[in-house]
A = this chain, B = another copy of it.
Amino acid sequence: MSRLLRVLPLGGLGEIGKNMTVVEYDERILVVDAGLMFPTPDQLGIDLVLPDFGYLRERADRIEAFVLTHAHEDHVGALPFVLRDLGVERGIPVYAGRLTAALVRSRLDEHRLKRAIQSVQELRPGERVAVGPMEIELIRMSHSIPDSFAVLISCPLGRVLITGDYKFDQTPIDGHPPDVRRLAELGSEGLLLLCGDSTNADRPGISPSEAIVGPQLERVFAQCKGRVVVTSFASNVHRLQQVLDAAAATDRRVSIVGRSMRKAFNIARTLGYLNAAEGALVPPHEIEDFPPERLVVLSTGSQGEPLSALRRMAHGEHPHVSLRAGDTVVFSATPIPGNERAVNETIDRIYRIGADVITPRDADVHASGHGYAEDLKLMINLTRPRYVMPIHGDYRRLRLHARLAEAVGVPPERIFVTENGRPLELDEQGARLGETVGAGVIFVDGMEVGDIEDVALRDRRMLSADGIFIVVATISGQDGRSVAPPEVLFRGVPFLTSSEDGFVEDLRREVERSLARAAADEVREIDLLQEQLHDDVAAFVYERLRRRPLVLPVVVEV
């Protein structure tokens, strides 16, 4: 007898990032990926944004396993937080490919989650493992990090394929093309549901092979007379390999700078995913003494991150390298949406120095890791799913992906564009969208993880926009009269000292008037007194400055 199958996206829909999908059969749970997102500028002071995994917290004892498609932050970054929250002592297994497992273990180690490290289990493509009433299998795909897999979930009702991030690269750098044979088999045998990556659903044609980048890098390295700095994602091991190869071909040596770049490089090299001769490398502290025309610097900072090696080089704040006229900086990556400004600032800084910049707009020095429209259509035609649910993308891309599915013949009523927290429910009768569960966001702020109170963010917004006024009134416990002159302090309120000299005195008098009025009205309860002070001060400040800072009255009774 078959039971309900529920596929519930907790993140990655209506947004780019924090991908996480729950697959639930007969009330047993498999979680595919646990990614994070970086905060938007209006999420003031927030460090990281995680999917709201409250649904999992309430059903922790039903979770059979996690499975990870690949090791990018938007697919694995939330895992340490989720595992700590659910309790590492549960020992919930985490299945992943070999490189993913290594990178995730290193991350769990940084989070001091030793018990969780032991739960990470390598799964080879094609190998099958039971997770409760389901069975999972990894199917090799190609993407901008090695060991990227689609996850096939089989249960008595049928099979679900969650593609992870992918493109159909016929000439991948590591020689492992996507397993189209297995995908075609699924199409023949029957696939119930396809949940496919929508990131590039808006791009026509087929995603270019990673292999196009190497010859372009080689051309740039050969033409540049000075140093070349290449910046890319540290995890893009294929790209790092191509930089090494292009450097070798043009008689340049490579120096790796930036903490995350060195770390990823070392892990990938140790596991054999990266092939670098010892003599090919130059330690960072020797960069400035090395002939510029024989050097390539491989650096973090492709997203304009404030503390990245590239940004520090551009501002003359890097211990080993300062950019100068004659250098060429190659951006071998495109900005993640939202990072455009930071990337443009970095580029402009480099131009200001007089160095040159090459971006993917100037030459093919980058290839996306995500399939374009024709890749997405090919995936549907190969796997011939009964139902399609676009995942990984903002609403625009989800809808465009749905249109592609229609274009290759999937009937519209079998295509489901849903949102975070709204599951697709499947049984013998068919498929339909179910009831929405809570699926907001969880913020990481310093050491704390939680559902940040709206009021704290609202306060931060007020503080950041207009600053704060603090008014301290000291009153007698006997008669409620003021016993010391009121103190007025402010922070983040500009211009006050220069152009409003009498303002603070006037405000202090206003506070005294307010206190006298309260005493006359016999307002003695501290709460009421503070409320009155707040309103009087806020009105006075608005009247004089046309600003609405946070006003904080403090009444001290002595």
Contacts of A520 in B (CB 8 A): none
Q: Counting chain B CB atoms within 10 Å of each CB, which of A443, A492, A545 scores highest?
A: A492
A270 interface residue, CB < 8 Å from B? no
Contacts of A183 in B (CB 8 A): none
- Name the one of B394, B396, B467, B557 contacting A459, with C-beta atoms under 8 angstroms: B467
Contacts A445-B494, A456-B494 known; A44 to B464 CB distance under 8 Å? yes
CA gap between A467 and B460 in the complex, in Å = 6
Q: Counting chain B CB atoms within 10 Å of each CB, which of A465, A499, A546 scores highest?
A: A465
Closest to A344 in B: B337
Q: How far is the CB of A201 from chain B (nearest CB, A)?
A: 11
Interface range on chain A (Cβ under 8 Å from partner): 35 or more
CA gap between A274 and B524 in the complex, in Å = 65
Q: How far is the CB of A280 from chain B (nearest CB, A)?
A: 32
Closest to A399 in B: B351
Closest to A453 in B: B494
A156 interface residue, CB < 8 Å from B? no
CA gap between A395 and B354 in the complex, in Å = 9
Contacts of A347 in B (CB 8 A): 396
> Do A395 and B468 have beta carbons less than 8 Å apart?
no
Q: Which of A20-28, A232-240, A548-556 contacts B (4 or more CB under 8 A)?
A: A548-556
Q: Counting chain B CB atoms within 10 Å of each CB, which of A44, A461, A547 scores highest?
A: A44
> Do A450 and B499 have beta carbons less than 8 Å apart?
yes
> Do B474 and A463 have beta carbons less than 8 Å apart?
no
Produce 1/0 per residue, A456-477, CB < 8 A to B. Answer: 1101110111111010101000
> Do B495 and A554 have beta carbons less than 8 Å apart?
no
> Do B45 and A465 have beta carbons less than 8 Å apart?
yes
A539 interface residue, CB < 8 Å from B? no
> Do B494 and A558 have beta carbons less than 8 Å apart?
no
Produce 1/0 per residue, A515-558, CB < 8 A to B. Answer: 00000000000000000000000000000011100101010111
Closest to A467 in B: B460
CA gap between A453 and B498 in the complex, in Å = 9
CA gap between A484 and B556 in the complex, in Å = 8
Contacts A453-B494, A499-B448, A546-B447 known; A45 to B466 CB distance under 8 Å? yes
CA gap between A447 and B545 in the complex, in Å = 6
Q: How far is the CB of A112 from chain B (nearest CB, A)?
A: 14
A283 interface residue, CB < 8 Å from B? no
A429 interface residue, CB < 8 Å from B? no
> Do B472 and A558 have beta carbons less than 8 Å apart?
no
Produce 1/0 per residue, A471-512, CB < 8 A to B. Answer: 010100000000110010101111101110000000000000
A352 interface residue, CB < 8 Å from B? yes
A291 interface residue, CB < 8 Å from B? no
A446 interface residue, CB < 8 Å from B? yes
- Name the one of B44, B337, B344, B550 contacting A491, with C-beta atoms under 8 angstroms: B550
> Do B45 and A448 have beta carbons less than 8 Å apart?
no
> Do B45 and A14 have beta carbons less than 8 Å apart?
no
Q: How far is the CB of A148 from chain B (nearest CB, A)?
A: 26
Contacts A447-B545, A552-B489 known; A467 to B474 CB distance under 8 Å? no
Q: How far is the CB of A353 from chain B (nearest CB, A)?
A: 9
CA gap between A4 and B338 in the complex, in Å = 46
A249 interface residue, CB < 8 Å from B? no
A340 interface residue, CB < 8 Å from B? yes
A513 interface residue, CB < 8 Å from B? no
A348 interface residue, CB < 8 Å from B? yes
Contacts of A468 in B (CB 8 A): 463, 468, 491
> Do A453 and B396 have beta carbons less than 8 Å apart?
no
Produce 1/0 per residue, A192-220, CB < 8 A to B. Answer: 00000000000000000000000000000
> Do B465 and A44 have beta carbons less than 8 Å apart?
yes
A437 interface residue, CB < 8 Å from B? no
A-B contact pairs, 5 of them (CB 8 A): A337-B341, A340-B341, A453-B498, A459-B492, A463-B467
6 shortest interchain CB distances as A-B pairs = A464-B464, A463-B463, A45-B465, A456-B494, A41-B41, A460-B492
Given A45-B465, A448-B494, A463-B463, 17 further pairs, Cβ under 8 A: A44-B464, A44-B465, A45-B492, A340-B340, A344-B394, A347-B396, A351-B399, A352-B395, A357-B396, A443-B494, A445-B547, A447-B546, A453-B495, A459-B492, A460-B463, A463-B491, A558-B558
Chain A interface residues toward B at CB < 8 A: 14, 40-41, 44-45, 337-338, 340-341, 344, 347-349, 351-352, 357, 394-396, 398-399, 443, 445-448, 450, 452-453, 456-457, 459-461, 463-468, 470, 472, 474, 483-484, 487, 489, 491-495, 497-499, 545-547, 550, 552, 554, 556-558
